[in-house]
């Protein structure tokens, strides 16, 4: 009677029947076996009988499960295979190996999983053979994981010499995951000579994990550098290898030789320099100093740009002379000059000519990110008293994006009188744009007497902000704005004044600092979008929270955390540049309550432009 409940239409009743029969154990096996063999019953009823048997974990139940492996129903074979693995039935190993070539992929996956659970080395040859057949990633993972669980390194090693690259790759990945790791450098080096891309990629990835395999890594790097054609995937792996083996003397020597050689192509030099820009090294090795200086002064802008990034990562102070030459070279592009000056100017004096050029970039730069970088560089340099006065004048006229960086010149105020001048300039700017409160708060901590001179429009921003005031401002704007025109709004979005495109992407256009707005109207109301424009810190999009990273040399990096490793973190700032910061140099890393999106666009744009921008954003929907 209880077995009949296995066919009940109510799932809860069927589950209760399965549980009860499983608890009865051996006395219930015969009735369950009869149910499994009765082909007149629905498949679902017979499958439920198998589920009850899988929970018994006794020899009689396993015997029934083994016989069910021959069923014509894939679902029954799958459940039987699952149960035998869960019960660790070693007598089923050979039968499960036969299921590795079953017509149903779900049965093959269940067989592979169970063979791993049973752990009998008799299954290794069958698992390797199954890897030869094209399969879905889930099945491939099951086969490889089964090899790992069985852990028979000697038997699995035979797969490294199999004629099928899929088998060699699976064996490689399985061996690399076994403990202790049985792989030898020569095992993997042999696989690098293959012409099969996925196998070569796997071999390179394995080598990159073994930092003690420097000789094999050097050979792999040499082979890739000598290759006449390099795919994007191979280039990425080359960089990964160079970064992983940055401490190996043979790799350092190889990098120096290739950067020095006139035969090295610009593409190869670019890959080497990109790797150097990602390496966790406090300073550049001595052998790299001269070749990197030569690459800095190369004629190709792309090579020079990568060399600047490498020099900045390895210690810009060691390359101050060539970086300064680039910054002062009028024949170079503004973008290159700005990158060079930014790298070398931190905490150092800059000439009046350099300051004047940076000031000009605040309005003349082609992109918003360049304007922001120029503002950041002015704030980061050690300014003379005259330059600081000029910086205050620039602050008074700054737009919202430049303001977010330029306001940090407050840190260079050394006395109360200069502090008053800064506040006067900030107050003038606050008539047009929002002034970030952080710098003002820090200034007031150093010179508390300035608080009495703080204008209302600055004092309200120097606190956490009033929710009621923000709500009132939004209501005021909503009353002033009309429906707008989406076509004109697109021009505002991609224009230099609002510069939304600098951080946000729509379709194939725009930056990647902030959220993709391609279908924003499906997730946000008009009021939500208005709040995001006027008060961007009121609600930060999940996954786009900014962090403040302070280092022991006095630098402060603000932006999105792109990547974290045991050795470093990578921050993407408002200028879209990615900066790798060594963990050893980090003094403090905290989430920032303030968005890197500049506040105050409602003051930069007039009512017509703001209405049009909202209309454009509300038009952005999927398809």
Q: What's the whole-number average pLDDT of the chain?
A: 87
Mean pLDDT of 208-212: 81
| Rg, C-alpha atoms of the chain | 33
Banded model confidence at residue 570, pLDDT cuts 50, 70, 90: confident
Q: Which ranges of 381-513 would DSSP assign to H, the alpha helix?
A: 385-397, 400-406, 416-429, 437-446, 456-459, 467-480, 486-493
Q: Is the dihedral of CA 601, 605, 606, 612 positive or negative?
A: negative
Mean pLDDT of 420-439: 84
200 vs 75, more confident: 75
52 vs 591, more confident: 52
Asked if pLDDT for residue 44 goes beyond 80, the answer is yes
* Interacting residues of 388 by C-beta distance below 8 A, sequence separation 6+: 409, 412, 413, 418
Q: Is the dihedral of CA 478, 484, 489, 491 positive or negative?
A: negative
Mean pLDDT of 40-57: 92
31 within 8 A of 61, measured Cβ to Cβ: no
Percent of the chain scoring above 90 in pLDDT: 47
**Residue 232's CB: how many other CB atoms inside 10 A?**
7
Mean pLDDT of 441-462: 76
In this prediction, residue 462 carries a pLDDT of: 43
Asked if pLDDT for residue 461 goes beyond 70, the answer is no
Asked if pLDDT for residue 464 goes beyond 50, the answer is no
* Paired residues of 548 in beta bridges: 558, 590
pLDDT tens digit string along 115-172? Answer: 999 999 999 999 999 999 877 899 999 999 999 999 999 999 999 999 999 999 999 9
Mean pLDDT of 224-243: 84
387 vs 214, more confident: 387
> What phi, psi does 563 have (nearest 5°)?
-155, 145
55-62 long-range Cβ contacts below 8 angstroms, 24+ apart: 55/18, 55/19, 55/22, 56/22, 56/25, 56/26, 56/28, 56/29, 57/87, 58/25, 58/26, 58/29, 60/26, 60/29, 61/26, 61/29, 61/32, 61/87, 62/87, 62/89, 62/91, 62/92
212-216, 430-434, 443-447, 617-621: lowest mean pLDDT where?
430-434
369 within 8 A of 575, measured Cβ to Cβ: yes
The DSSP code sequence of 252-300 is HHHHHHHHH-TTS-HHHHHHHHHHHHH---SS--HHHHHHHHHHHT-S-
**d(Cα 527, Cα 68) in Å, to the nearest integer?**
62
Mean pLDDT of 536-560: 73
Strands, sheet with 546-551, edge to edge from the N-terminal-most edge strand: 578-582, 568-572, 556-564, 546-551, 586-591
**d(Cα 562, Cα 398) in Å, to the nearest integer?**
29
Asked if pLDDT for residue 271 goes beyond 50, the answer is yes
**d(Cα 498, Cα 75) in Å, to the nearest integer?**
59
3-state secondary structure 11-45: HHHHHHHHHHHHHHCHHHHHHHHHHHHCCCCCHHH
Asked if pLDDT for residue 513 goes beyond 50, the answer is yes
Domain annotation for the chain: domains and CATH numbers = 346-463 (no CATH), 467-541+598-618 (1.10.760.10), 546-591 (2.30.30.100)
In this prediction, residue 146 carries a pLDDT of: 97
Mean pLDDT of 48-76: 94
Asked if pLDDT for residue 539 goes beyond 70, the answer is no
39 vs 578, more confident: 39
**d(Cα 61, Cα 25) in Å, to the nearest integer?**
8
In this prediction, residue 561 carries a pLDDT of: 78
Banded model confidence at residue 424, pLDDT cuts 50, 70, 90: very high
In this prediction, residue 538 carries a pLDDT of: 65
Percent of the chain scoring above 70 in pLDDT: 95
**Highest averaged pLDDT of the listed ranges 19-28, 531-540, 602-611:** 19-28
In this prediction, residue 105 carries a pLDDT of: 93
Asked if pLDDT for residue 208 goes beyond 90, the answer is no
Mean pLDDT of 497-509: 81
**d(Cα 398, Cα 158) in Å, to the nearest integer?**
68
In this prediction, residue 209 carries a pLDDT of: 83
In this prediction, residue 463 carries a pLDDT of: 41
Mean pLDDT of 332-352: 93
In this prediction, residue 292 carries a pLDDT of: 96
465 vs 110, more confident: 110
């Amino acid at each position: 009677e209880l077995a009949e409940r296995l066919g009940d239409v109510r799932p809860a009743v069927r589950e209760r029947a399965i549980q009860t029969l499983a608890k009865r154990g051996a006395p219930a096996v015969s009735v369950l076996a009869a149910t499994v063999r009765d082909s007149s019953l629905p498949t679902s009823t017979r499958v439920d009988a198998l589920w009850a048997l899988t929970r018994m974990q006794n020899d009689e139940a396993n015997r029934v499960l083994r016989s069910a492996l021959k069923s014509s129903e894939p679902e029954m074979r799958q459940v039987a295979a699952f149960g035998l693995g869960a019960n660790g039935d070693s007598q089923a190993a050979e039968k499960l190996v036969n299921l590795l070539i079953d017509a149903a992929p779900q049965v093959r996956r269940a067989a592979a999983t169970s063979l791993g659970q049973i752990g009998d080395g008799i299954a290794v040859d069958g698992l390797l053979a199954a890897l030869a057949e094209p399969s879905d990633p889930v099945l491939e993972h099951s086969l490889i994981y089964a090899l790992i669980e069985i852990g028979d390194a000697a038997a699995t090693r035979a797969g490294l010499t199999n004629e099928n690259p899929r088998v060699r790759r699976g064996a490689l990945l399985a061996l690399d995951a076994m403990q202790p790791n049985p792989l030898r450098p020569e095992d993997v080096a042999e696989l690098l000579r293959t012409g099969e891309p996925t196998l070569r990629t796997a071999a390179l990835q394995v080598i990159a994990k073994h930092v003690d395999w420097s000789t094999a890594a050097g050979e792999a790097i040499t082979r890739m550098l000598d290759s006449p054609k390099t795919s994007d995937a191979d280039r990425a792996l080359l960089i990964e290898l160079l970064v992983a083996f940055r401490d190996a003397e043979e790799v350092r020597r190889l990098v120096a030789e290739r950067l020095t050689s006139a035969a090295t192509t610009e593409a190869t030099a670019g890959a080497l320099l990109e790797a150097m820009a990602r390496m966790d090294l406090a300073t550049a090795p001595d052998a790299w100093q001269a070749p990197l200086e030569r690459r800095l002064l190369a004629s190709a802008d792309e090579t020079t740009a990568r060399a600047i990034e490498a020099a900045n990562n390895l210690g810009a102070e060691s390359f101050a002379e060539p970086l300064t030459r680039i910054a002062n070279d009028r024949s170079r592009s503004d973008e290159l000059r700005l990158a060079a000056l930014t790298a070398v100017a931190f905490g150092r004096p800059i000439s009046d000519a350099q300051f004047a050029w940076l000031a000009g970039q605040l309005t003349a730069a082609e992109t918003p990110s360049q304007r922001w970088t120029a503002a950041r560089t002015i704030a980061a340099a050690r300014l003379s008293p005259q330059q600081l006065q000029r910086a205050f004048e620039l602050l008074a006229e700054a737009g919202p994006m430049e303001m977010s960086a330029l306001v940090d010149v407050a840190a260079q105020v050394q006395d109360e009188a200069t502090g008053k001048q800064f506040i006067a300039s900030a107050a003038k700017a606050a008539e047009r744009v929002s002034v970030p409160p952080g710098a003002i708060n820090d200034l007031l901590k150093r010179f508390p007497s300035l608080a009495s001179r703080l204008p209302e429009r600055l004092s309200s921003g120097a606190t956490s902000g009033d929710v009621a005031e923000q709500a009132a401002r939004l209501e005021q704007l909503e009353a002033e704005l009309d429906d707008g025109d989406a076509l004109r709004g697109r021009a505002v979005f991609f224009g230099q004044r609002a510069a939304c495109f600098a951080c946000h992407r729509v379709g194939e256009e725009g930056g990647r600092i902030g959220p993709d707005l391609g279908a924003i109207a499906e997730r946000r109301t008009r009021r939500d979008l208005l709040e995001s424009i006027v008060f961007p810190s009121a609600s930060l999009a999940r996954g786009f929270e900014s962090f403040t990273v302070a280092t022991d040399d006095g630098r402060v990096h603000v932006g999105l955390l792109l990547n974290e490793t045991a050795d470093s973190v990578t921050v993407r700032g408002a200028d879209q540049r990615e900066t790798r910061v060594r963990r050893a140099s980090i003094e403090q890393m905290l989430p920032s309550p303030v968005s890197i999106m500049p506040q105050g666009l409602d003051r930069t744009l007039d009512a017509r432009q703001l209405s049009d921008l909202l209309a454009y954003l509300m038009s952005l929907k999927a398809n």
